[in-house]
Amino acid sequence: MALKVEHEIHKRRFGRNMGVALVLVSFIFVVFGLTVVKVTSGDFQPQKPEVQQ
């Protein structure tokens, strides 16, 4: 038996927070995955400084 009864609004807020957390984590995985693919594919070439004479 719980000492304090949880209100219904806390249950809805928890569900919303979990949804936001899942969206954030999936966005981080997408950005990380795209970064790994771009760096390992060889397309990433640092720009060489151009010297003007």
Question: Once rounded to an integer, what is the mean pLDDT over residues 4-16?
Answer: 85
Token digits for 47?
């720009």
**Cα distance between residue 31 and residue 14, in whole Å:** 26
Chain-wide mean pLDDT for the chain? 85
pLDDT score for 53: 66
Whole-number CA gyration radius for the chain: 23
- Token look-up 């397309």 returns 43
Residue with more model confidence, 16 or 1: 16
What distance in Å separates the CA atoms of residue 53 and residue 10, rounded to the nearest whole number?
67
